[in-house]
Amino acid sequence: MKSSGLLLLFIFQCIQLFSQDFTINGYVEDAKTGERLIGAVVYDSISQNGFNCNAYGYFALKLHHGPINLKCSYLGYDTRKVSFSLEKDTSLNIFLQPKAFALNEVIVYDRIHTLKRSQISTVELPIITIKNIPSLMGETDLLKALQLLPGVQSGTEGTGGLYVRGGGPDQNLILLDGVSVYNPDHLFGFVSVFNSDAIKNVTLIKGGFPAQYGGRLSSIVDIRMKEGNNKETHGEAAIGLISSKLMVEGPLVKDRSSYLISARRSWIDIFTRSLLKKKELPYGYFYDLTAKINHIFSNQSRLYFSIYIGRDKITSINTSSETVMGDYKYNNRENQYFGWGNITSSLRWNYSFSNKLFSNTSINYSDYKYFDNKLFYNSETNVKTGLVTNEDYESEFHSGIKDIAIKSDFDFQPFTGHKIKFGAGSIYHLFTPNAQISMINTGMDSSLTGKSNYRLEALEPSIYIEDDIEFNSRLKVNAGLRISGFLVKSRFYGSIEPRVSGRYLLTDRWAAKLAYSRMKQYVHLLTSSRVTFPTDLWVPSTDKVKPQMSDQVAVGSVYNFNKNFELSIEAYYKTMNDLIEYSEGSSFLDNNNWESKVEKGGRGRAYGLEIMLQKNAGRTTGWIAYTLSKTERQFDNISFGKWFP
């Protein structure tokens, strides 16, 4: 009996050992530069379990005890295989070697990733894909690449912006390293503010929004910057038809710290002034500077700091004249210039508490400004006496929005089949939708008139949780909940936003997908169709203006014909409520009382069908896309209260 008991105990321990789960966690990095690879796929061919690295290249994969055959792949890199026996929790960093691309080769998507993920209406574009897309006048542009995708349209000439599934430009949450960018355009939308030399990856989400994102109705554009080469120093320089740019990156401490600096400036103004030599013609320029540093404290802890500074300046009037009448000579000079600019910065700390829990904490700052300055100089000179009388007038109008945000996000994998994300954060908004100063100077006297400085403060807290659940090899669901609020003028708005998306593998090559999401937007952009300049006036929800809200349902299917071709079809229906629009005859120049100059309570609806056929491998690659869609609005006091396109 005693020997039988020992045998049973031995068998039980063996079963327990071989059925035990262990976690493999770590980072996937570029072997040459040390860049962590966003969305890299880590897959065990034995258990057929896989993981997509998060936005910081981190993965955590829970597998059974025993032999492991890992395959790690990423667009533009050679696949690496790692085989070993899993006996305990293991930390493992995987280094991938970049492929040597032929000039005519473009890889668009990882077809396995597209087919098997639970999200719908999501596109990931590495920068190598964007750079290989033919560009206008040789200027690689991230937003122009996104406009080639189904469901995305560009604005009219001179306005820029993205219009995604019937939404306006203000309904896109554009993030640069996690920081909101309120105006993504240079030169009225001719190029974007994002320098491709400093960008690593961009993700566009049009529907089925994960719970970690919020604050906009139509889309998320999540742009991640490069981290800098921590192996060796190198740089790039280019002179284009629109702008010239320079990028330098390298290690501060080899394998521990790195930096990246990228600068760009247009030279159209130099061309206009020097070649045409007519000062009365309008001219303008833009510049931007992007920089990032990071330091690795340990394999568990890493610190990042990134900053972006960019500005456009357009000189629209620059004239002077001289007139002599009797004993007096009159000199008149008129200057007018306007422009806009963004400043963003982010301080982030990544920390891996264990092989199951990863965190990212950040403090972010964003500052967007629009300005319009007019200067009039008039002088009267008495030719006989030499007495000079000056009368100058200056007027400055500006608007803008500043954000200071803090948030913490966590990735948690308690056991196989569950990838839980949760977090919380808060944004402090400072709105200045109208600030105008006028100054008159006559001789030795000066006076200040018309000074106003209208400011609004608001606080936007949020908390969320989501779980990417793999029920079996065919069914996978991402379910989440986001709770947000908005405090302004002693008025508080709250919102509960459920999100769910899922996929079901009908065959190994064919997947069906479905998603529903509710979104809430507390900030609004006032624009006038009569104004061609980017006079963006960002205003908050108030006690008189409610937040915008949308509900969207999307259904689709993805089919892989073979390793080269993939077909995706999606249909969506979206409703929007509490939209606002300028009232007829209202002016953007006086917005101290802007709440009385807008139509409120507007409704919107958008629906459509998107089809995309793409070829992912071979000598010729690319995609063909078709969108059939319709979007309408309805306001009680616009178009006689009828729906209009």
Q: Which of 271, 253, 365 is nearest to 309 (CA)?
A: 365
Pairing of strands 21-30, 94-96: parallel
Q: What is the DSSP string of 347-381?
A: EEEEEE-SSSEEEEEEEEEEEEEEEEEEEEEEEEE
The answer to whether 517 and 208 are in contact (CB under 8 A) is yes
pLDDT at 273 (0 to 100): 66
According to CATH, the topology of domain 112-641 is Maltoporin; Chain A (2.40.170)
More confident residue, 552 or 338: 552
**Rounded Cα gap, residues 121 and 412, in angstroms:** 24
Q: Give the tens place of pLDDT for each residue, 73-105.
A: 887 788 888 888 888 888 888 888 887 654 444
Whose tokens are 């998603």? That residue is 515
Contacts of 100 (CB under 8 A, 6+ apart): none
**Rounded Cα gap, residues 26 and 298, in angstroms:** 12
Backbone angles phi, psi at 472, to 5 degrees: -160, -170
Q: Give the tens place of pLDDT for each residue, 489-518.
A: 889 999 999 999 999 999 988 999 999 999
pLDDT at 532 (0 to 100): 40
The structure tokens listed for 416 are 């196989």
Q: Which of 124-128, 264-268, 389-393 has the highest mean pLDDT?
A: 264-268
Asked if pLDDT for residue 618 goes beyond 90, the answer is no
pLDDT at 107 (0 to 100): 43
**Mean per-residue pLDDT of the chain:** 84
pLDDT at 609 (0 to 100): 97
pLDDT at 103 (0 to 100): 41
3-class DSSP string for 109-135: CCHHHHHHCCCCCEEEEEHHHHHHCCC
Backbone angles phi, psi at 188, to 5 degrees: 60, 35
**Rounded Cα gap, residues 48 and 112, in angstroms:** 12
Average pLDDT over residues 288-303: 93
Average pLDDT over residues 509-538: 80
More confident residue, 175 or 285: 175
User: 574 - beta bridge partners?
Assistant: 552, 606
The answer to whether 236 and 268 are in contact (CB under 8 A) is no
Of 108-112, 353-357, 365-369, 377-381, the poorest mean pLDDT is in 108-112
Asked if pLDDT for residue 334 goes beyond 90, the answer is no
Asked if pLDDT for residue 111 goes beyond 80, the answer is no
* CA dihedral sign of residues 319, 322, 323, 328: positive
Asked if pLDDT for residue 352 goes beyond 50, the answer is yes
Asked if pLDDT for residue 424 goes beyond 90, the answer is yes
Average pLDDT over residues 523-551: 79
pLDDT at 81 (0 to 100): 87
The answer to whether 472 and 49 are in contact (CB under 8 A) is no
Whose tokens are 């690295």? That residue is 53
pLDDT at 17 (0 to 100): 46
Q: Which of 68-77, 88-97, 133-142, 299-308 has the highest mean pLDDT?
A: 299-308
CB half-sphere exposure, 280, CA atoms < 13 A:
4
In 237-346, which residue ranges form alpha helices assigned H by DSSP? 268-271
Quote the percentage of the chain above a pLDDT of 70.
86
User: Residue 483, Cβ neighbours under 10 Å: how many?
Assistant: 16
Average pLDDT over residues 429-456: 70
Cα-based torsion angle of the residue sequence 151, 157, 161, 162 in order, rounded to the nearest 10 degrees: 0
Q: Which of 161, 186, 189, 190 is nearest to 174 (CA)?
A: 161
| Domain ranges for the chain | 21-98, 112-641
Q: Which of 32-36, 118-122, 344-348, 541-545 has the highest mean pLDDT?
A: 344-348
Of 437-451, 479-493, 583-597, the poorest mean pLDDT is in 437-451
Q: pLDDT grade, residue 483 (50/70/90)?
A: very high
The structure tokens listed for 431 are 């709105």
Pairing of strands 475-488, 152-154: unpaired
**Rounded Cα gap, residues 401 and 463, in angstroms:** 23
**Rounded Cα gap, residues 39 and 44, in angstroms:** 16
The structure tokens listed for 486 are 């908005």
Q: 3-state class of 639 per DSSP?
A: helix
Average pLDDT over residues 178-207: 89
Global pTM reads: 0.84
Q: 3-state class of 10 per DSSP?
A: helix
Q: pLDDT grade, residue 643 (50/70/90)?
A: very high
Backbone angles phi, psi at 4, to 5 degrees: -65, -40
Asked if pLDDT for residue 6 goes beyond 80, the answer is no
User: 141 - beta bridge partners?
Assistant: none
| C-alpha triplet 503, 505, 508: angle, nearest 5° | 145
pLDDT at 422 (0 to 100): 97
pLDDT at 18 (0 to 100): 47
**Rounded Cα gap, residues 419 and 417, in angstroms:** 7
User: What is the gyration radius of the CA atoms in the chain, in angstroms?
Assistant: 28
The beta strands (E) that lie in 21-93 are given as 21-30, 41-44, 49-52, 58-64, 66-73, 80-86, 90-91
Average pLDDT over residues 395-415: 90
The answer to whether 478 and 467 are in contact (CB under 8 A) is yes
Whose tokens are 């908005």? That residue is 486
Asked if pLDDT for residue 632 goes beyond 60, the answer is yes
Q: Which of 191, 209, 55 is nearest to 122 (CA)?
A: 209
pLDDT at 59 (0 to 100): 85
* CA dihedral sign of residues 513, 518, 523, 524: positive
Q: Give the tens place of pLDDT for each residue, 373-398.
A: 888 888 888 877 878 877 777 888 88
To which H or E segment does residue 510 belong?
strand 510-521
Q: Give the tens place of pLDDT for each residue, 23-74.
A: 888 888 888 888 888 878 888 878 777 777 887 888 887 788 788 888 888 8
pLDDT at 588 (0 to 100): 57
Whose tokens are 């039980």? That residue is 12
**Rounded Cα gap, residues 515 and 260, in angstroms:** 39
Q: Which of 178, 121, 115, 143 is nearest to 427 (CA)?
A: 178
Contacts of 24 (CB under 8 A, 6+ apart): 59, 60, 61, 62, 63, 68, 70, 86, 89, 90, 91, 92, 355
Asked if pLDDT for residue 438 goes beyond 80, the answer is no
* Number of residues that this document lists for the chain: 645
Quote the percentage of the chain above a pLDDT of 90.
41
Average pLDDT over residues 613-629: 85
- Please give the CATH superfamily to which domain 21-98 belongs: Carboxypeptidase-like, regulatory domain (2.60.40.1120)
pLDDT at 403 (0 to 100): 97
To which H or E segment does residue 535 belong?
none
Average pLDDT over residues 302-327: 86
Q: Give the tens place of pLDDT for each residue, 546-558.
A: 999 999 999 999 9
Backbone angles phi, psi at 296, to 5 degrees: -95, 110
Burial of 433 (0-12, 13-18, 19+ CB in 10 A): buried
Of 428-437, 531-540, 632-641, the poorest mean pLDDT is in 531-540
Roughly how many angstroms between the first and final C-alpha of the chain, as a whole number?
85
Q: pLDDT grade, residue 520 (50/70/90)?
A: very high
Of 22-31, 176-185, 528-537, the poorest mean pLDDT is in 528-537
Of 111-120, 205-214, 264-273, 338-347, the poorest mean pLDDT is in 111-120
The answer to whether 149 and 143 are in contact (CB under 8 A) is no
The structure tokens listed for 532 are 């061609």
Q: pLDDT grade, residue 591 (50/70/90)?
A: low
